[in-house]
Structure 1
Amino acid sequence: MSAPPATADILLRGGTVITVDPARRVIADGAVAIAADRILAVGPRADIEAAYTARQVIDTTHHAILPGLIDGHAHAGHGLVKTLHGGDSAAWSEACRVIYTTASTPEFWHAEARLAALERLMFGVTTGVSLLGGGDSILRTDDLAHGIAHCRGVTEIGIRDIVAVGPTRPPHPRVYASWEGGVRHEYPVSFERQLETIEALIETCHGRGRIGVATLMPVYAEAEHDPVAVALIARQGRLVRDLGRKHGLIFHQDGHHSGSLDMADRMFGLLGPDATMSHSTDLTDADIEAAARHGASIVHNPSAIASVRGYCPVPRLLDRGVNVMLGSDGTAPDRSTDMFRHMFQCMRLHQRQHRDERLMPPGKLLEMVTIDAARGLNIAHEVGSLEAGKKADIITVDLRKPHLYPLNMPVWRVVCFANGQDVDTVIVDGRILMRARAVAHVDTNEILDAAQAETGLMLDRAGLRAALAEPPTLWGKARH
């Protein structure tokens, strides 16, 4: 007599399961069983249904079932400053400096975190890296309240978030401001105070729920600094790296290019298997060898302005054995966190660069937003593929749409034809956060309205209302 079926909490059945497991199985008419926060089993529907009953059964016929997507590089704060200055990168960067040092409040960071996390959730992104600021390495690390507000906002939405925090560039102190009672109060912030704020955020938020913290240092180019500055940067880098290692955190940098990876290794000792280095355009031979030698991961952002100004040699990095993941660099100034869009952009970017349509096949692209990204973030033992024992971070893509038919070659369909709006169901830690594109546990209209209101307050504090005017060069010409 056969054993009676075991009980699962959730059973997804009837869809095409794209596992991204070690065998890279694609299972037509498959099923996934979930108990609590873990995957119990993945396999053909008939086998799983014979082995398990479930308290909740979700019919995923005409859906693809995938691991939750991972965004390896984005910016907290950017969600409320989309399109500022209409394509003027220098003005945009200066606006970020003003906003992230003197015109943002904890309420701003909370509203932006909820908006950005909701966007990610509805695009099927279940894990993302979020730098607490941006522009030219301007992070809100003067006071713990801002980071806590960000973490609280993401927690309300329920996805996983790795908050990257670090110091600003020298010279220090840097002027920050708070707005108690609507009155601006300026104060100088030293490197030491920033380091204290970073450690306080780690101790307060890291490992709490689905929140993690990463440490960060600005990227430096060798020709820009004299020996005294290099010695100061090296000292600061060691302190940040030691702090991260003390707490078992990954390390992140934003904006590598043209020899800076080699410099980070040779002069500062920043590379390692826990390091994720973003953008990484126009790399030298020494850069590539340094990444390969230390097992560092590269975060490629194919839709970013950095990929217009330079080229990240992804095929060469992969051939050298370097782990490469994708990032959105979102959500601003002009791009979203739709990882389907970035997968396709990645494919075309490298095919065009090398005049070779065989480059960057869909399976590799999907790996770069699932298992490869999980590997780079040191969480591949928990997420990134659909395997028994891993966390139940799962999405389904509704294929019953004209642009996704006919239903053949499902990996190609998902990567080349789907977009974030096709995501139907999102499960994180075994909890259904979105079903049939409805997010029931939060008030989406309230989140949108709060984001709009906080943006207006920020623009008034920063004096940037005019920066949202449509530029007169928007129409009629090839260049603005």
Structure 2
Amino acid sequence: MARMLLTHGTVVTMDAERRIIPDGAVLIEAGRIVRADRASAFDPNALGDVKVVDCSGKLILPGFIDAHAHAGHTMNRALGWDTRSFWMAYMEKIYHHHTTPGYWYAEGRLAALERLKAGITLGVSVLTNAQRADDPRIAVENSRGYGAVGNRQIVAVGPSNPPYPRGFHQYREGRWESVSLTFDEIMTKTEEAIELVNGTFDGRIQAFIAPFVLVGSVEPSGPTPADRAVKLTDLDRKMMRAVREIASRQKTRIHTEAFGGMIRLAKQSDDALLGPDVHLQHCKGISFDEALILAETGTHVTTTPAWGQYVTRCPVPELLGLGVNVAATTDGVAPGIPYDLIQAVRNLAMIQQGALNDFYYLPPGKMLSMITIDAARAVGREHDLGSIEPGKLADLITVDMRQPHLAPTHLPVHTLMLYGNAADVADVMVEGRWVMRGRQVLTVDEAEVLRDAAEESSAAIRRAGLEKLLKPSDTFWDYRNHVFEPRLP
């Protein structure tokens, strides 16, 4: 691979010194960063065989990292929005009983495409909204979709919540089969999926083991009061032990979701899913004692802005003050969240500032850190991703600042984080290879990806009998939705 010199851009390194280099340049060779410096420090004539790319008017940044989202959701945008109390049930019906391998390949391509065009060069994908590990083909086909588009993916696969056995429908050889799996069988399938996808596509695809939530015996999607989050069940302990064993055998990391009460409970186990090899999503409604546990164990936290954060927020500034690494995620994309990390971290900062009545928390520089180097730390990739430094992989993006909403650019990072959005990403490079130039994706036919996804999505919705969700509610244009029939389950 020939050398490449990206020159005359503003280089935002995100290195330890957080250098911003006006009229800067980045030298790349064999897919890795050789050096970042002022453009005047490089003589292209002295570099031999080098391709020079003019980045005038652009920021050059490390690729964004989205450390939590869900495979499947791009196929169901806004579906169930009008009756969100039942949204989880709607999605589980589709994902667990009415999807084919082709559905998961189409979703992988669509999700990878949206993330790529948002500057996300590495994204975590939890398999469905409530985890599905009964059929390893889902992980294989979804990762194959990412492999076709060209960005990186971490497939997060693991057990669903109890009760067990769990029932699913699988599509094989032209017919649907009903299956029911015990916890042990689910864990066997989980490990099989990890073995099948981890390290594929030249290492661009990884796999983490990821139970649906940290503690399955309490409230799964919100905080549990202290007088109910008292003691781990035998299945809780068995799950943590099994996850630890698979992570050790497969030499991989652990990811799961956590809410208030779970962290204190998890600490009761000798195999607690806490520590430097774990990142916990959400962490809403956690107590001060639980924040201290996260700090003491070196557990990473990732979190997403959502209306629920106004009631039970993740205490981001407090966690940062205790030394906990915290990254922002999209948790995309259904029922109403895009793969836009700039928007996500900006909204997260606004929620935290409002809750604490202090708009000095989470300034723009920290916001950018939370979707680059801090996110790289959360997924264990800070050694080779997340910043522009010699020896790191050349996963880079450019943002075209020559646009009315970004001009004039007196303060480049402030401007990007306060006014920018995903559509401002102009170019994307993964390991020194361009996969998008001038917002044109070079690896797949975008129109064909969109057509395939639309067909697969519509077919699954029909199979699930959820066509009723394809029309707005009767009070869609009113100031409040209050007529929901016939959209209820």
Distance 1:126-1:176 versus aligned 2 partners, 3 A rule: same
Distance 1:76 1:375 in 2: 22
Distance 1:239 1:449 in 2: 40
Distance 1:216-1:305 versus aligned 2 partners, 3 A rule: farther
2:25 to 28, 31, 49: 31
Task: Name the TM-score, length of structure 2 as normaliser.
Answer: 0.92
Structure 2 equivalent of residue 121 of structure 1:
116
Shift of 1:443: 0.5
Question: 199-208 or 273-282, which moves further after superposition?
Answer: 199-208
Q: Which runs of 5+ in 1 are unaligned?
A: 1-6
What are the residue-to-residue correspondences of 1:220-369 with 2, within 5 Å? 220=215, 221=218, 230-254=233-257, 256-267=258-269, 269-302=272-305, 304-369=306-371
**Number of residues paired by the alignment?**
468
Structure 1 equivalent of residue 69 of structure 2:
74
Q: Is the 8 A contact 2:106 2:453 kept in 1?
A: yes
Distance 2:8 2:445 in 1: 31
Distance 1:468 1:224 in 2: 39
Indicate whether 1:61 and 2:46 are aligned: no
Distance 2:412 2:268 in 1: 44
Shift of 1:161: 0.6
Distance 1:95 1:309 in 2: 25
Structure 2 equivalent of residue 192 of structure 1:
184
**Alignment deviations for residues 144-203 of structure 1 (CA, whole Å, 9 cap, x no partner):** 111100111110011111111111112211111123465432111121221111111221
**Alignment deviations for residues 263-292 of structure 1 (CA, whole Å, 9 cap, x no partner):** 122245110111101011111011101100
1:140 to 122, 129, 132: 132
Shift of 1:356: 1.1
2:400 aligned partner, one-letter code: D
Indicate whether 1:207 and 2:202 are aligned: no
1:100 to 72, 95, 98: 95
2:268 aligned partner, one-letter code: R
Distance 1:226-1:385 versus aligned 2 partners, 3 A rule: closer
Q: Is the 8 A contact 1:132 1:139 kept in 2?
A: yes
2:353 aligned partner, one-letter code: Q
Shift of 1:205: 1.2
Distance 1:225-1:106 versus aligned 2 partners, 3 A rule: farther
What are the residue-to-residue correspondences of 1:163-178 with 2, within 5 Å? 163-178=155-170
1:14 aligned partner, one-letter code: H
Distance 1:465 1:305 in 2: 27
Structure 1 equivalent of residue 438 of structure 2:
436
1:159 to 134, 139, 151: 151
Question: 176-185 or 367-376, which moves further after superposition?
Answer: 176-185
What are the residue-to-residue correspondences of 1:405-420 with 2, within 5 Å? 405-420=407-422
Task: Name the TM-score, length of structure 1 as normaliser.
Answer: 0.94
Distance 2:36 2:427 in 1: 17
2:456 to 454, 457, 472: 454
Q: Is the 8 A contact 1:318 1:324 kept in 2?
A: yes
RMSD of aligned Cα (Å) = 1.7
Distance 1:305-1:181 versus aligned 2 partners, 3 A rule: farther
Structure 2 equivalent of residue 400 of structure 1:
402
Distance 2:82 2:11 in 1: 40
Shift of 1:353: 1.0
1:18 to 12, 33, 51: 12
Structure 1 equivalent of residue 486 of structure 2:
none
Q: How many percent identity over aligned positions?
A: 37
Q: Which runs of 5+ in 2 are unaligned?
A: 219-223, 483-489
1:82 aligned partner, one-letter code: R
Shift of 1:323: 0.2
